Chains A and B, each alone.
Chain A
Amino acid sequence: MRGYLLVLLRSMTAVAAGWAEYRLDFAAALLTALVEAAGRVVAVLALVRAGVLDLAPAEGFVYLGVATVVSGFFASVVGPNLVAFSQRLLEGSLEFVLLKPKHPVFLLLVQTASPWGIPDLLAGAVLLAWGLSALGVGAGALGLGALALVLAVAVAYLFAFLLALVGFYSVHVHNLVNLVAGLFGAGQYPIRAYAAPVRAVLTFVLPVYLAVNLPAELFLGRAAAGGVLGLLTVLGGLWLLADRLFALALRSYASASG
Chain B
Amino acid sequence: MVRWILSQKFLAYLEALVAQNLAYRGELLFFVLAQSLPLLFLALWVEGGPRPDADYARYYFFAWLAGFFRPTGVAYNLGYEINTGRLSPLLLRPFSPVLDHLADQLALLLVYLPLAMPVAALFPALFPGFLGGLSVARLPGYALYLALGFCFHFALGWLFGALAFFLERSEGLLEAYYGLLYFFGGMTLPLDALPPGLVRWLGWTPLPYLVYHPAALAAGWERQAGYGVLAGWTLLTGALAALAWRRGLARYSAMGA
Chain A residues engaging chain B, CB cutoff 8 angstroms: 22, 24-25, 27-29, 31-32, 35-36, 38-40, 42-43, 46-47, 49-54, 170-172, 174-176, 178-179, 182-183, 185-186, 189, 193-195, 197-198
Contacts and interface: CB of A to CB of B under 8 A. Distances in A.
Nearest to B185: A39
Given A53-B44, A178-B30, A179-B30, 14 more contacts: A25-B172, A31-B172, A32-B176, A35-B183, A39-B183, A40-B183, A46-B193, A46-B194, A50-B48, A172-B24, A178-B34, A182-B37, A186-B40, A195-B46
Contacts of B31: 175
B33 interface: yes
Given A42-B198, A46-B189, A194-B44, A176 B30 contact: yes
A47 B189 contact: yes
Contact of B49 (A40, A43, A52, A178): A52
Interface of B: 24, 26-28, 30-31, 33-34, 37, 40, 43-50, 167-169, 171-173, 175-176, 179-180, 182-184, 188-189, 193-195, 198
Contact of A32 (B27, B179, B194): B179
A185 B193 contact: no
A86 to B, nearest CB: 11
A194 B40 contact: yes
Contacts of A175: 27-28, 30-31, 33-34
A185 B43 CA distance: 14
A179 B172 contact: no
B49 A25 contact: no
B24 A47 contact: no
Given A43-B188, A46-B189, A35 B43 contact: no
